Structure 1
Amino acid sequence: MQAFAGYLARAHAAAWNPPAAWLQRKSGIPQTTVETLVGGRRKRLPDWSEQVEPLLRALRRLLATA
């Protein structure tokens, strides 16, 4: 789980650390869940299609506009 959390944190950093509120708006994931995902505070793997995929999609959109 720690390695996966590290990947999410690096993806967040690669997209210039957008605020959790922005990620919440763009991904549809609750802000506290976004904070938990990018902060590495999850105890178990998150749901891919409900949490990880929308988060990564929002980060990719941000990088595409750079």
Structure 2
Amino acid sequence: MNFTATAAIDRDENGIWIVEYPSIPGCVSHGDTKPEAPSNIREAIRMCLEVRAERGLPLTVESQ
């Protein structure tokens, strides 16, 4: 499955990079480096979409 969305990426107070997909509620991951964080989100996206589908929730929501 191909999925395109805008991600929000930021660094927390401990220097860990956090990446979030606002269009998938609760879909968040992290990484020690900026390139690692988006790479790690792939598994989180798969799991979030799977859980949302199982619960009959919309896979994505509108976000800005």
Give the shorter-chain TM-score range. Answer: 0.3 to 0.5
**TM-score, normalised by the number of residues in structure 2:** 0.36
Question: Could you say which structure has the greater relative contact order, defined with CA pairs below 8 angstroms and 6 or more residues apart?
Answer: 1
**TM-score, normalised by the number of residues in structure 1:** 0.36
The structure that is helix-richer by fraction is 1
Rg bigger for which structure? Answer: 2
